[in-house]
Structure 1
Amino acid sequence: MSHLISRFQQLIAAPSISSALPEYDSSNKAVIDLLAEWLTPLGFDCEIMRVPKERLGEPDKYNLIATLGSGPGGLVLSGHTDTVPCNPERWSSDPFKLTERDGKLYGLGTCDMKGFFALAIEAIENILNQLGNPKKLDLQQPLIILATADEECSMSGARVLVEQGRPKGRYAIIGEPTGLKPIRMHKGIMMETIRLTGNAGHSSNPSLGINAIDAMHDVITELKAYRLQLAKENHNQDFEIDIPTLNFGCLHGGDNPNRICGSCELAFDLRALPGMNNDQLRAEMEARLKPIASRHNVKFELEALFPGVPSFATDKNADLVKLAEKLTNHQAHAVAFATEAPFMQQLGMETLILGPGSIDQAHQLDEFISLDQIQPTVELLSQFINEYCIKSHSV
């Protein structure tokens, strides 16, 4: 337990914030280096992959592909190394210092999701101890620890992996906080902005300008109608919210009551069900909204705020799903939040989301993981490694 706590402490102490705001964004290299330092003595071949910068001046970001064993198939244990920004002054304790109280470990990333790596390494060491502590595991199929960059912001780390077609594995478990209950589906997410540009002028005479707020009113009305259509035509009872959702997040326009509004901007997100395609949804919205802009004689722009995440689904009868349900005694279900799972799926792997902690603690003040989640997680990961890497498994 002392080694495990030490690893937690070091991971939490290494800032790796991802943010669209440059003043908060930081590199994840310190976390990647720690993982490579711990995995190399266990026999892993550690490849550190630089992720191309998204923006000028952005800190360097990295993925880690740590591989033990060789050959086709095998198991990937995957997680992201970054965290969201935090407000240290509002925490009950230092978010970058692991703090134990009331049966919980507090710190930024304990739950979402640096802690998963410490637990995965603990599972590997437990197996080594059970086998008489050999220098490394003798595997029938490879075991890969995958650590990615920028999941909380752009998912650029996962996108680079897809571009390079690596790593190759048969099964992938993403250790996001699910309370150790398997997740086989989640919604996709798009974040879009609509900009309408008219002409400013004196409000005493409407003919002196083109009011972008008037045009945006009709755009929003059309998007609300589109939202109702999507909800009517698309249902999936596996989700708590069983329809796609479209949320108007922020609206900005104009600068003074006595001036015709020359420009207006709306930002929104759309969370699609499995089977729905983000590119098709964007094209449908553009086709419905452009005529409105033309009618108001305003310039229309529809822009993605980030590339978006596809929806994700693994078949309920997939081998990995069945094994996870057997080992956890929980039926696989669906969630609304997005993960790197569709990118692992694009690499050809059966993919499942399964990890310790609760999503309710993610992105919150005083983030924590309960101590009573630690041993069950270590035991569960040990079972997956044993089934998929050490022996031929059967469900």
Structure 2
Amino acid sequence: MIFDVLEFHERAVRTESHESVEEMRGLLVETLEGAGADPVVDDAGNTLATRTGDGYEPGDEAESGSDAGTHLVLNTHIDTVPPHVPFAEREGGAVVEGRGACDAKGPLAALVDAFLSAGVGEGNRLTLAITPDEETVQTGAAHLAGTLDADGFVVGEPTGLDVCNAARGQYEGTITLTGAAAHAATPESGANAIRAVAPLLQAMESYDEREARSASDGASGDDEEPRARGPDAHESLGRPTLTPTVIDGGEASNQVPEECVITFDRRPVPPETPEEFEAGLETHLSEWVPSGIDLDVALSPRETPFLAAFATAPDEPLVEALAAASGGEVRPFGAATEASYFAEHAPTVVFGPGDLADDEGAVAHSEREYVRREEVRAAARAVRDAVDALL
């Protein structure tokens, strides 16, 4: 069967995968089998297929040195966010609309096309690794990370054909303030947890600025001006962010509240780790807590590791090859992705057709999600050409 990238893309967008990926995974497996590949679905629900060049033998990857050849992995996901948006066309068929059009069935179609058509030289390998739950808990990617023994990863997401070599991570957590309940007629007899929120919110705003001042003072003495950017600022990603997103406290209008919880979102940049952030935030906030209030900072429980920030050097061969093939800009990606897991092990880039947002607003995850068909074709050509250059 000859693979048609646009026909597959249309079938994929028409296939609902916001509640279950079973039907979409079946389409992918059927397509790969029809094209002569031999896909397998692992215990975590990942769909995997590998092409090898002449001279490669199973077990070569375990040998020391570079004789085992080069192994590249093409990765994206088949799940989508709710609700399903039906397939539609506009501009005479030049544009495809619908859920997953760009996130990430456009990138999926491009990567499948490149996987099936790229050349694989002697001793080298090319793997297609498609995960089932990127939009939720990322168990598929967590299962794959560190087991594929790859020399590079191309992760499919809507980048407008730019080559994204870095991305912020994403953590979530809570700040729990605990005081003492009392009658509202005698507030002085208790410890009001809600009153403690105001200084804590101010402290959250100053967290990264404080880190900048501390690093500056320690490095150059108190007589110099603080640096404009803290030690966690990244040359392309900039500063991390810490955003309070939910406040929950109090049980009755006539009772001094004993507890209040602030939920936060953290978007880190390299080299920050979740453990370092959790400890650093609690230390910082403890200096702002009013007397009589206890403080607890905790990252939210997860089945899989948090998505850490990553950055691949712009002069890595993978980055240069894909940028040359696509003509796109090398820049950071605008959202956290499963690329985080793979970047711990090998150079990783995020690439694909479509955009997270355009001049009118959100595209991915919105009711107006769309992608241009020519971008899907262009993405497939670019990945194929980059793989040809590297393998």
Task: Give TM-score scaled by structure 2 length.
Answer: 0.81
The 1-side partners of 2:20 and 2:71 are apart by 30
The 2-side partners of 1:45 and 1:370 are apart by 30
Residue in 2 that maps onto 1:210: 191
Residue in 1 that maps onto 2:223: none
The 2-side partners of 1:299 and 1:275 are apart by 26
Residue in 1 that maps onto 2:322: 324
Matched, 1:191 2:179: no
Residue in 2 that maps onto 1:120: 111
Q: Is the 8 A contact 1:248 1:269 kept in 2?
A: yes
Q: Is the 8 A contact 2:278 2:299 kept in 1?
A: no
Q: Is the 8 A contact 1:8 1:98 kept in 2?
A: no
Flag as ranges the 4+ runs of structure 1 deviating above 6 A. none
- Superposition deviation, residue 335 in structure 1: 3.1
- Which amino acid is the alignment partner of residue 248 of structure 1? P
Q: Is the 8 A contact 1:198 1:261 kept in 2?
A: yes
Give runs of aligned pairs for residues 243-322 of structure 1, distance below 5 A: 243-290=239-286, 295-298=291-294, 300-304=296-300, 306=302, 307-322=305-320
Residue in 2 that maps onto 1:22: none
Q: Is the 8 A contact 1:190 1:278 kept in 2?
A: yes
1:174-194 Cα offsets, whole Å, 9 max, x none, are 111111111111112211112
SS in 2 for 1:172: strand
The 2-side partners of 1:177 and 1:152 are apart by 14
Distance 1:142 1:79, change over 3 A: same
Which among 219, 223, 226 is matched to residue 204 of structure 2? Answer: 223
Distance 1:381 1:335, change over 3 A: closer
Which among 8, 12, 23 is matched to residue 30 of structure 1? Answer: 23
The 2-side partners of 1:301 and 1:309 are apart by 19
Residue in 2 that maps onto 1:46: 39
Question: Which structure 2 residue ranges, 5 or more long, are not aligned?
Answer: 61-67, 213-228, 358-362
Aligned residues: 350
The 2-side partners of 1:354 and 1:108 are apart by 19
The 2-side partners of 1:277 and 1:185 are apart by 15
Identity of aligned residues (%): 26
Mean alpha-carbon deviation: is it higher for 322-331 or for 370-379? 322-331
Task: Give TM-score scaled by structure 1 length.
Answer: 0.80
Q: Is the 8 A contact 1:185 1:274 kept in 2?
A: no
Matched, 1:75 2:75: no
Matched, 1:161 2:144: yes
Q: Aligned Cα RMSD in Å?
A: 2.6
SS in 2 for 1:296: coil
Give runs of aligned pairs for residues 101-116 of structure 1, distance below 5 A: 101-102=90-91, 103-116=94-107
Q: Is the 8 A contact 2:106 2:354 kept in 1?
A: no
- Superposition deviation, residue 123 in structure 1: 3.7
Q: Is the 8 A contact 2:171 2:274 kept in 1?
A: yes
SS in 2 for 1:45: coil
- Superposition deviation, residue 276 in structure 1: 2.1
Q: Is the 8 A contact 2:355 2:364 kept in 1?
A: yes
Question: Which structure 1 residue ranges, 5 or more long, are not aligned?
Answer: 18-25, 52-61, 89-94, 129-136, 390-395
- Which amino acid is the alignment partner of residue 41 of structure 1? G
Q: Is the 8 A contact 2:89 2:95 kept in 1?
A: yes
Which among 368, 380, 389 is matched to residue 382 of structure 2? Answer: 380
Residue in 1 that maps onto 2:225: none
- Which amino acid is the alignment partner of residue 192 of structure 1? G
* Larger fraction in helix: 1
1:163-219 Cα offsets, whole Å, 9 max, x none, are xx3222222111111111111111122111122233333211014432110222332
Q: Is the 8 A contact 2:90 2:96 kept in 1?
A: yes
The 1-side partners of 2:253 and 2:339 are apart by 47
1:66-97 Cα offsets, whole Å, 9 max, x none, are 112255422211101211223x6xxxxxx1x3
Q: Is the 8 A contact 1:180 1:357 kept in 2?
A: yes
The 1-side partners of 2:271 and 2:194 are apart by 35
SS in 2 for 1:212: coil
Distance 1:66 1:297, change over 3 A: same
The 2-side partners of 1:202 and 1:377 are apart by 64
1:206-260 Cα offsets, whole Å, 9 max, x none, are 1443211022233223222213224641433423xx2111111121222443321
Residue in 2 that maps onto 1:54: none
Q: Is the 8 A contact 2:115 2:127 kept in 1?
A: no
Distance 1:46 1:115, change over 3 A: same
